[in-house]
A and B are shown apart, each in its own frame.
Chain A
Amino acid sequence: MSEIEILKRRVERELRARKEAERILEDKAQELYLANNSLRVLNENLELRISERTVDLTAEQMRLSALITNLDSGILLEDERRHIVIVNQLFCTLFHIPAPPQFLIGTDCSNSAELSKSLFAEPDAFVQRINEILHKRELVLNESLSLANGQIYQRTFIPLFDGQRYLGHLWKYNDVSEAVHAGEELRRSEDKYRGIIENMELGLMEVDNQGRIVRPYPRFCQMVGYEPEELEGQDAVEILLPPEFISVLDRQTEDRMEGKAGVYEIQLRKKDGSLIWAMISGAPIVDLAGDIVGSIGIHYDVTRQKLLQQELEEARKRAEAAQEAEKQFLANMSHEIRTPLNAIIGMAHLLADTNPTEEQTEYLGILKSSAEMLRILISDVLDLSKIRAGKMETQAKDFDLPDLIRSMVKSLQLRIEDKPIKVLLDIDPKIKNLVTGDDLLLHQIMANLLGNAEKFTANGEIKVQVAQETEPETHPLWIRISVSDTGIGIPPEKHDLIFQSFRQVDGDTKRKFGGTGLGLAITKQLVDLQGGTIELISELGAGAQFIVRLPYIDSGVIPISDKLMEAKQSLHTHGKRILVVEDNYMNRKYIGTLLRKWNVEHEFAFNGREAVEKTQEWVYDLILMDIQMPEMDGYEATIAIRNQEGPNQSIPILALTASAMMSQKDKAFSAGMDDYLSKPFKPSQLFEKMAFYMGAGDVSNEPHVPEIFTFDARLDQQMLYALYGDDLDYAHEMFDMFLNTAAVEFREIRPKVETENWLELARLAHKLKPSFGMVGLCSLEKMMDRIETDAKTDPNPDALKLDLLQAEQYFEEGCLVVQSELHRIGRILKK
């Protein structure tokens, strides 16, 4: 039974196992089916992707093939067995192959070199090289080949590998004949021009972008004294450029990098260390691709020109300094000379009123006329310098032109009464109205022309004609004034000359007739200043005629009787009081004497401040006011007086100016002054002004004559006079001090020169300079100035020794004079 049961269990187990196995197998089959399915899908996807890739590849190949066919080069692509894969039309053209390229695909090329070798200049070498290239299977780039017909091909060979496997190769040919020939043409042309430039003493040099010398040309090498191989590859700045020019060159280099050319001047250091100046024209060098690869400089040696230029520049500076000094000198003349001259003329006039003896009168006459001559000379020189400096200005006012000419001719007539000369005047009756213009300038012009005629005419006639050239009330109104004489005349070739400064007809004329030779030059300039013309008609021995044409404006006003004359006749000075404001002792003495002589009550103020104080206390009728004074000048004093309440607020103030400059006069008017009188003035001029402002007085009083000490003529009298006036105590003190100090210090100069201690020499000369001036040794003062300048700027031992020798000579002489003057002053002071 149990066995049966066991068997039953076994069968049951096996049955169940079979079913279990079937179930598992069924599951597996299902699993397999699904796996199979997904595999199939995967396979399909793969196929699709492959076909897509194939399409892409075909398109790519076609594009490549089209590209090669249309390339601007002859292309031949061969496979590893040298069968043609691709060839283009240009290749066939280059190798004279008549067949269309597409027919050649697949053709074996093993023998092609042999077939086309006849095209080349060296056929066998061509074949040999092809075989060599094919054997080596290495890249060959742009190899040049000459053809038998002169053309030039360029060849490139590209071997094609897939890893280690050789796939074939590509030949690329280009016809570069034109480019090569053009290049050669360009090079020939460049060489030609470089050659020309080199022959023109222009040195060429090429540098790269780093400033290294790439190509130094022979002429440039000569210029800087190097051999070409010494320069090549060197840093141009390092080897040739002095450091101070680095910044100049840097700026140029920047310009080059931007493609700009430029011209500049720098110094270059030669091999021997010396420097030359070079004018350089630099330009960038641009390669075929348009990139800047360096620059080229054309150098021209301008060392000589530079030196010349420097010398010229120095000469110009010296000339300018001299001109400036001259101007300064003339300006000083105005102030320094007129003041003492004023006194001389004034004193001469006063002296004439002191009942001199006949002999004294004669001497005084000479003194007066000489002083007058000197005043005219100085005025001429000053006028000229003013005109040259552009400081002479014209002033327009209405005046009676015929009357002015008439009075001048009248006075000429009076002057030459005793000469056998007839004076004729002819005035155009059409001139009725006052004209507007500068009467002072016309006065000066006429004075010069009449003076000239008077001077050169011994007998015969002087004729003045005045005509109106244009109709009245036209603008401008041209007036023609002619002054003719029967004098010695002027040869035509000298006509231009006489209008130039310091020129007279000849030296003989100067000796015979005197004068500065400035009169006509000034006249011409005064005429020019007013926009007029001057003309000379003359022949030697046949007299002279000057014709002046001046433009005026017709004022439309008819002249009335002269106010000044009326005033002179109707007014007098009784009970009038004048304040004279003047710091200069000499001027005070001069004016004071005149006023006493004219019986005019007066008081002095020594500067502007004192004048203002006095006007606060007293009542005056007129103030004569100097301009340049210590503490407070004339302008300031006038302004103060005009601004203070009181009886003197609107008193007439007359300026006494040392300068004739318009600017000073204008300033005087704007400060509130009523009129001016420029120094030196004659007693009559002062009298006229006084009469105008307060009425004329009786001229009866005895004038007082001041004593004047005259310094030795070997000293600068003018300077000493200006310095000391008649303050002899002061002069004595200064002369004494000079002999005790400066004379001792002068002895120290020689050792400085001998030891060539220029710095000390300059210092000493500078110190001594004013001491010599103080005793009137002006030549020594100037000498010290020169020694100082030379020692500072250009110490030349030989020249300075010569100067010193001369200075010592002057010094010995000068000291003796100073010594004797010191004694003389001492004697006078003791009296």
Chain B
Amino acid sequence: MKGMVFTSFLDLVEEKFGYEMVDRILLSCDLPSKGVYTSVGTYEHSEMVQLVTALSKETQVPVSDLLKTYGNYFFPILSNGYPQFITEAPSALDLLERIEHHIHVEVIKLYPDAELPRFDTRRIDAQTLELVYHSKRKMADFAEGLILSTFEHYKEQAQIEREDITEDGSVVRFVIRKA
């Protein structure tokens, strides 16, 4: 998992709960990286799971909510870092449709070792998009946060239905209806 995800996460924790919380969860976890993250590095996904779980324990906030919030927080980082993807897509649904075959293709060029989730999309009608999330990292909540913030970015309203296809959450179906 790219270092930027870790640094952004810790930035969010510091912003919401103070560096003391950051220090606490880093100490409470047994991390191969010893909690030293740089945005250009790459780290084990299990470290992220440990960090989120630790945060949830400390704050008594459910993991899913934490991830959604994080997704929300992460969108601007992406949109600032790679504005060309945003400008190329005229709407939120367009952008979502382009993730799998356009944005991820470019990401792989930049980071050949990146392990990306898969987003299968299908237009049900002009306003409705079916998006199926596949990832053994099971971070559909993070994805949902990102989706919501996408609509915020385009100043559009949307109604999102979520359905877990597998019990472990590795495959999740979203039906996104633009209002």
Interface of A toward B, CB cutoff 8 Å: 3, 6, 9-10, 13, 16-18, 20-21, 24-25, 28
Q: Distance (Å) between the CB of B14 and the closest chain A CB?
A: 9
**In the complex, which residues 31-60 of chain B have their Cβ closer than 8 Å to any Cβ of chain A?**
34-41
Assess whether A24 is in contact with B36, with CB atoms less than 8 Å apart.
Answer: no
Q: Distance (Å) between the CB of A26 and the closest chain B CB?
A: 11
Assess whether B19 is in contact with A21, with CB atoms less than 8 Å apart.
Answer: no
Assess whether A9 is in contact with B23, with CB atoms less than 8 Å apart.
Answer: yes
Assess whether A24 is in contact with B41, with CB atoms less than 8 Å apart.
Answer: yes
In the complex, what residues of A have CB within 8 A of residue B88's CB? none
- Count chain B CB atoms within 10 A of each CB in A6, A17, A21, A24 and give the residue with the most: A17
- Majority secondary structure, A binding face: helix
A-B contact pairs, 17 of them (CB 8 A): A3-B20, A6-B23, A10-B19, A10-B22, A13-B26, A13-B34, A13-B35, A13-B36, A16-B34, A17-B36, A17-B38, A20-B36, A20-B41, A21-B38, A21-B39, A21-B40, A28-B40
Distance in angstroms between the alpha carbons of A3 and B19 in the assembled complex: 10
Interface string of B139-171 (1 = CB under 8 A from A): 000000000000000000000000000000000
In the complex, what residues of B have CB within 8 A of residue A10's CB? 19, 22-23
Choose among A3, A6, A16, A25 the residue that contacts B36 (Cβ–Cβ < 8 A).
A16
Interface of B toward A, CB cutoff 8 Å: 19-20, 22-23, 26-27, 34-41
Q: Distance (Å) between the CB of A34 and the closest chain B CB?
A: 15
In the complex, what residues of B have CB within 8 A of residue A6's CB? 19-20, 23
Which single residue of chain A is at the shortest CB-CB distance from B42? A24
Which single residue of chain B is at the shortest CB-CB distance from A22? B38
Distance in angstroms between the alpha carbons of A17 and B6 in the assembled complex: 12
Sort A-B residue pairs by CB-CB distance and give the 5 closest, nearest first: A21-B38, A16-B36, A17-B38, A6-B23, A24-B40
Assess whether A18 is in contact with B38, with CB atoms less than 8 Å apart.
Answer: yes
Q: Distance (Å) between the CB of B35 and the closest chain A CB?
A: 6
Distance in angstroms between the alpha carbons of A645 and B37 in the assembled complex: 152
In the complex, what residues of A have CB within 8 A of residue B34's CB? 13, 16
Choose among B20, B23, B37 the residue that contacts A17 (Cβ–Cβ < 8 A).
B37
Distance in angstroms between the alpha carbons of A827 and B22 in the assembled complex: 179
In the complex, what residues of B have CB within 8 A of residue A3's CB? 20
Choose among A9, A24, A28 the residue that contacts B38 (Cβ–Cβ < 8 A).
A24
Which single residue of chain B is at the shortest CB-CB distance from A6? B23
Assess whether A25 is in contact with B19, with CB atoms less than 8 Å apart.
Answer: no
Distance in angstroms between the alpha carbons of A20 and B37 in the assembled complex: 8
Distance in angstroms between the alpha carbons of A17 and B38 in the assembled complex: 5
Distance in angstroms between the alpha carbons of A6 and B38 in the assembled complex: 19
In the complex, what residues of B have CB within 8 A of residue A13's CB? 26, 34-36
Assess whether A25 is in contact with B23, with CB atoms less than 8 Å apart.
Answer: no
Assess whether B35 is in contact with A25, with CB atoms less than 8 Å apart.
Answer: no
In the complex, what residues of A have CB within 8 A of residue B23's CB? 6, 9-10
Distance in angstroms between the alpha carbons of A24 and B39 in the assembled complex: 10
Q: Distance (Å) between the CB of A73 and the closest chain B CB?
A: 58
Which single residue of chain B is at the shortest CB-CB distance from A12? B36
In the complex, what residues of A have CB within 8 A of residue B41's CB? 20-21, 24
Q: Distance (Å) between the CB of A318 and the closest chain B CB?
A: 111
In the complex, what residues of A have CB within 8 A of residue B20's CB? 3, 6
In the complex, what residues of B have CB within 8 A of residue A9's CB? 23, 26-27
Distance in angstroms between the alpha carbons of A6 and B24 in the assembled complex: 9
In the complex, what residues of B have CB within 8 A of residue A16's CB? 34, 36
In the complex, what residues of A have CB within 8 A of residue B36's CB? 13, 16-17, 20
Q: Distance (Å) between the CB of A650 and the closest chain B CB?
A: 138
Distance in angstroms between the alpha carbons of A13 and B38 in the assembled complex: 10
In the complex, what residues of A have CB within 8 A of residue B26's CB? 9, 13
Q: Distance (Å) between the CB of B138 and the closest chain A CB?
A: 27
In the complex, what residues of B have CB within 8 A of residue A25's CB? 40
Which single residue of chain A is at the shortest CB-CB distance from B7? A17
Contacts A3-B20, A10-B22, A17-B36 known; list 20 others, CB within 8 Å.
A6-B20, A6-B23, A9-B23, A9-B26, A9-B27, A10-B19, A10-B23, A13-B26, A13-B35, A16-B34, A17-B37, A17-B38, A20-B36, A20-B38, A21-B39, A21-B40, A21-B41, A24-B40, A24-B41, A25-B40
Distance in angstroms between the alpha carbons of A18 and B3 in the assembled complex: 12
Distance in angstroms between the alpha carbons of A25 and B27 in the assembled complex: 27
